[in-house]
Amino acid sequence: MKNNRKTLLLVTHITAWLCFFALPYLVFFPRLREFSMSNHQLASIICNNIFIVLFYYLNTLWLVPKLLVKEKWLWYSLSIVICLLIFLNVPKVIAGWIAEPEIVSIQNREFIRNPAFQGKPRTFGSEGRRPYANPYNTVVFLLVFTVGTCISMIQRWLKTEQHRKETVNEKLNTELSFLKSQINPHFFFNTLNNIYSLAVVKSDITASAVMKLSQIMRYILTDTQQDYVPLSKELDFIHNYIELQQVRLTEKVKVQFSVEGETDNYSIAPMLFIPFVENAFKYGVSTKDSSNINIHIRTKGNTIYFDSSNYIVSTENNDLEKTGIGINNVRRRLELLYPEKHLLTCTAENQYYFVHLELTVV
């Protein structure tokens, strides 16, 4: 894969340079028949092209990252000026070594029209017809300098932006992994407490409770390792959890769990609903008075609706503003996984605590 990318990059650079050097000849194509190129002129063109290519890569690969990016403005400006002076003089000298400038004799039309100078030819050096005169070379240099610097800075900005996004995604993934790992100990802690209370009183349903817990553990240790799980599996998990809780409850606690709508074609982040269910049992169960817990899940279109309500059992330590790490955890997970795609409201009214959650899923 890397070799293919390098080959493609090399071909792209070569093609771009060929198009750049061929552009002047394509523009002035109709006049090419009138133009005769000497060996010195050909050598000048080749030397100029070689130097301009060397300058481009010197600027983009060394001057920009070493000087411009590090805000060494003076050194960068001096380097560009020196490169310009070298480009305007050195290729001309080297071309003179390769091929001597030729002396071309032509008759100036203005002198021909003047009878006083008829028959008196005027001589010019080859630089009189040199296509790469200094003004042209300066324009070419500035063009290559501007394009090269802009491309280099844009590439660095894109690379920095990509690195920033990767860092943010890595941070979010790390945070999500941490939040997900928090759920399991919190859940197991509460569930094991329930089974312990059954074992203390030597209840006959302790074995059944342990079996339910094993099914729940199997789900948590396997399916929840994925980013998203089928909604149907999450509902089975909630159902098992409710049954596990009911083994320790009396007839005074009424629990209603209902599901409405299609569930097979939906996927959600695992363990999103269980913190609300846990808190409903934690704060809505009374050993003395009658209490109700209602949990309803409905699907419609692209949205999943979760509603729960429970009677608020008055205790000295009951604080609805601080419902433990579970609710705070799920709030943060919703912000990360469903930005602008969820609505969560938690309200207390008439001795009842209500939770309403809307999730927009694909």
Six token digits for residue 97? 């070594």
CATH of 174-360, one of 1.10.290.10, 3.60.15.10, 3.40.250.10, 3.30.565.10: 3.30.565.10
Q: pLDDT value at position 268?
A: 92
Per-residue confidence of the chain (362 residues) as pLDDT tens digits?
667 777 877 887 888 888 777 776 665 555 555 556 677 777 888 888 889 889 888 988 888 888 888 888 899 899 889 988 888 888 888 877 887 776 544 444 444 344 444 444 444 344 444 444 467 788 888 888 888 888 888 888 888 888 777 766 666 666 556 555 555 566 677 678 878 877 887 777 788 888 888 888 888 778 777 888 999 999 998 998 888 878 777 778 889 999 999 988 899 988 889 889 888 888 888 777 788 899 999 999 999 999 999 988 776 445 444 445 567 778 888 888 898 899 999 998 888 899 999 999 87
What is the model's pLDDT at position 107? 42
Residue ranges, comma separated, of all CATH 3.30.565.10 domains in the chain are 174-360
Contacts 24+ apart (CB under 8 A), 125-132: 125/101, 126/38, 126/40, 126/41, 126/101, 126/102, 127/101, 128/104, 129/35, 129/41, 129/104, 130/41, 130/44, 131/24, 131/35, 131/37, 131/41, 131/45, 132/41, 132/44, 132/45, 132/48
Instruction: Find the angle CA(78)-CA(59)-CA(131) to the nearest 5 degrees.
Output: 90
Q: Which residue from 79, 211, 91, 213 is spatially nearest to 149, judged by alpha carbons?
A: 79
Half-sphere exposure of 309 (CA within 13 A, CB side): 11
| Residue 31 pLDDT | 56
> Rounded distance, CA 346 to CA 323, Å?
11
Secondary structure letter of residue 302 according to DSSP? T
Positive or negative CA dihedral for 250, 240, 297, 173?
Answer: positive
Q: CA torsion angle for 273, 275, 280, 286 (degrees, to 10)?
A: 150
SS3 content of the chain, % helix, strand, coil (to 5): 60, 15, 20
DSSP-derived 3-state class of residue 173: helix
Q: Residue 209's CB: how many other CB atoms inside 10 A?
A: 22
Distance, CA of 169 to CA of 16 (rounded, Å): 35
Sequence-distant (≥ 6) Cβ neighbours of residue 145 within 8 angstroms: 55, 59, 80
Sign of CA dihedral 324, 336, 223, 166: negative
Give the pairing of strands 253-260 and 291-300.
parallel
pLDDT the model gives residue 103: 54
In this prediction, residue 127 carries a pLDDT of 42
